[in-house]
Chain A
């Protein structure tokens, strides 16, 4: 078998069938753009969620009457926790200074009081492996049981909502991805079928002179793969164009001031994934249509 001959035949198929091929490329591109938009939304949200989650701290408030020995014991126990990465002890005095710095107007309220009402605390930074809802609440429950601990605080609602949103997006990506993949397969398979019907006589001649089904099918599979890759490439160009345009517009309007580092991203993997998805869908759908037809003719 000669690979160059088969490739030349595939290119010839694309040339002869160029009207249908062009329609196939454009429709594939638009379908993949829809998929790409959803993928970008999902990846950006996951990125934001990851960034915010990594900032989550657990604050362990200590009993104001706890002795130094108890405080030391709490810190020791916290150090043994596999989830805890760093511990920062915040004394009552430090807590008051921090409060005054962060809320200078409200600090006047504390000045009239005889004693410092703010409790000492230990700020715990957790390992990324323990930032999911279950691990966080389990950690908080364990710490709450320690003697000298009055309260454990972390932003659970925020974490829960974000985790839920990401999981919904994951599910949505799978469902929408499947629907769009089916649409793309149908479009490319029909283009290949038209190509096959156009060259029906040629296929009959090839069969007459001893060509195997695989030999006849390969140029059409190459044609479908090229069509899918071109569709993927066009969708990437469209998506990247619109994305850059929007980013410039939004940056100019100042909407994302301060959060550019987390929003929005266009990872290289998306570019690769779009072209690869196009290629795989093109290859798969042409294999389906070619072998379906071969079977019907034999």
Chain B
């Protein structure tokens, strides 16, 4: 699914990633851990094409993302779902309009799109709020909507960068449960977090980054 070969990235003499190599197989759940500045976000960014590595190769479904041309990046992103810490929702638009966007972009027909949106809203427990503007929702609800938007086009890979960073302990557990359910349905997950509670509850393979290097790579315990 994903293979990284000696990936390095430097920002203004500051090493974000140094000779990072590992592999994620289809259906795996990988938790990327490490302190702030360890390179977790940069690693996710090079995988979804927001950053170009200075050296090394990144294969995502046998496509070399390190050498992908700009025009192909949107099509790469359509195969993955992306969830970020700061929600990235359109606050003036309704829950439905936010979640349906990836399907509009991909040209899915209106009726089919409606069905798929309703299915994912039900899956994240937000179907009753489809007409409400996302700007008035709580942080936990907004993150649920983000997750719904990320999975509405049935991606084979879900990338999440500190998805519980802005949530309290109870909401964090709700979101973790959501990720576990998505993983159980066969979606490959790469989740970056420094929250121990999330790492323990997700019970996936843990790749620990320290100063841009892979310090440890441990398989799931159960």
Report B75-100 residues with CB < 8 Å from chain A CB: 75-78, 82, 84, 88-90
- The answer to whether B77 and A210 have CB atoms under 8 Å apart is yes
Given A5-B104, A215-B105, A298-B70, are A209 and B77 neighbors across the interface (CB < 8 Å)?
A: yes
- The answer to whether A210 and B104 have CB atoms under 8 Å apart is no
Other-chain contact of A209, B70, B105, B107, B110 (Cβ < 8 Å): B105
Other-chain contact of B102, A1, A210, A298 (Cβ < 8 Å): A210
Complex interface: chain B residues within 8 A of A2 (CB):
104, 107, 110
Stretch at the interface among A52-60, A134-142, A198-206: A198-206
- The answer to whether B90 and A202 have CB atoms under 8 Å apart is yes
Q: In the assembly, what is the distance between CA of A207 and CA of B89, in Å?
A: 12
Complex interface: chain A residues within 8 A of B101 (CB):
205-206, 209
Complex interface: chain A residues within 8 A of B106 (CB):
210
- The answer to whether A204 and B71 have CB atoms under 8 Å apart is no
Question: What residue in chain B is nearest A9 (Cβ atoms)?
Answer: B104
In the complex, how many angstroms separate the beta carbon of A5 from the nearest chain B beta carbon? Answer: 5
In the complex, how many angstroms separate the beta carbon of B51 from the nearest chain A beta carbon? Answer: 12
Other-chain contact of B90, A205, A212, A298 (Cβ < 8 Å): A205
In the complex, how many angstroms separate the beta carbon of A204 from the nearest chain B beta carbon? Answer: 7
Task: Say whether B40 faces chain A, with CB atoms less than 8 Å apart.
Answer: no
Other-chain contact of A1, B70, B75, B88, B107 (Cβ < 8 Å): B107
Interface string of A185-223 (1 = CB under 8 A from B): 000000000000000011011111111110100000000
In the complex, how many angstroms separate the beta carbon of B216 from the nearest chain A beta carbon? Answer: 30
- The answer to whether A212 and B104 have CB atoms under 8 Å apart is no
Given A1-B107, A2-B107, A210-B105, are A205 and B75 neighbors across the interface (CB < 8 Å)?
A: no
Question: What residue in chain B is nearest A4 (Cβ atoms)?
Answer: B110
Complex interface: chain A residues within 8 A of B105 (CB):
206, 209-212, 215
In the complex, how many angstroms separate the beta carbon of B193 from the nearest chain A beta carbon? Answer: 19
Report A214-242 residues with CB < 8 Å from chain B CB: 215
Task: Say whether B125 faces chain A, with CB atoms less than 8 Å apart.
Answer: no
- The answer to whether B88 and A204 have CB atoms under 8 Å apart is yes
In the complex, how many angstroms separate the beta carbon of B86 from the nearest chain A beta carbon? Answer: 10
Other-chain contact of B88, A5, A208, A211, A212 (Cβ < 8 Å): A208
Q: In the assembly, what is the distance between CA of A34 and CA of B159, in Å?
A: 56
Question: What residue in chain A is nearest B78 (Cβ atoms)?
Answer: A210
- The answer to whether B82 and A208 have CB atoms under 8 Å apart is yes
Complex interface: chain B residues within 8 A of A215 (CB):
74, 105
Complex interface: chain B residues within 8 A of A202 (CB):
90
Complex interface: chain A residues within 8 A of B110 (CB):
2
Complex interface: chain A residues within 8 A of B82 (CB):
208-209
Nearest first, the 4 A-B pairs at minimum CB distance are: A210-B78, A210-B77, A212-B74, A210-B74
- Name 9 interchain pairs, CB-CB below 8 A, sorted by A: A5-B104, A207-B74, A208-B88, A209-B105, A210-B75, A210-B76, A210-B78, A210-B102, A213-B74
Hey, which bits of chain A sit against chain B, CB under 8 A?
1-2, 5, 201-202, 204-213, 215, 298
Other 19 A-B pairs with CB < 8 A, given A206-B105, A210-B78: A5-B104, A204-B88, A205-B88, A205-B90, A207-B74, A208-B77, A208-B88, A209-B101, A209-B102, A209-B105, A210-B74, A210-B76, A210-B77, A210-B105, A211-B105, A212-B71, A212-B74, A213-B71, A298-B73
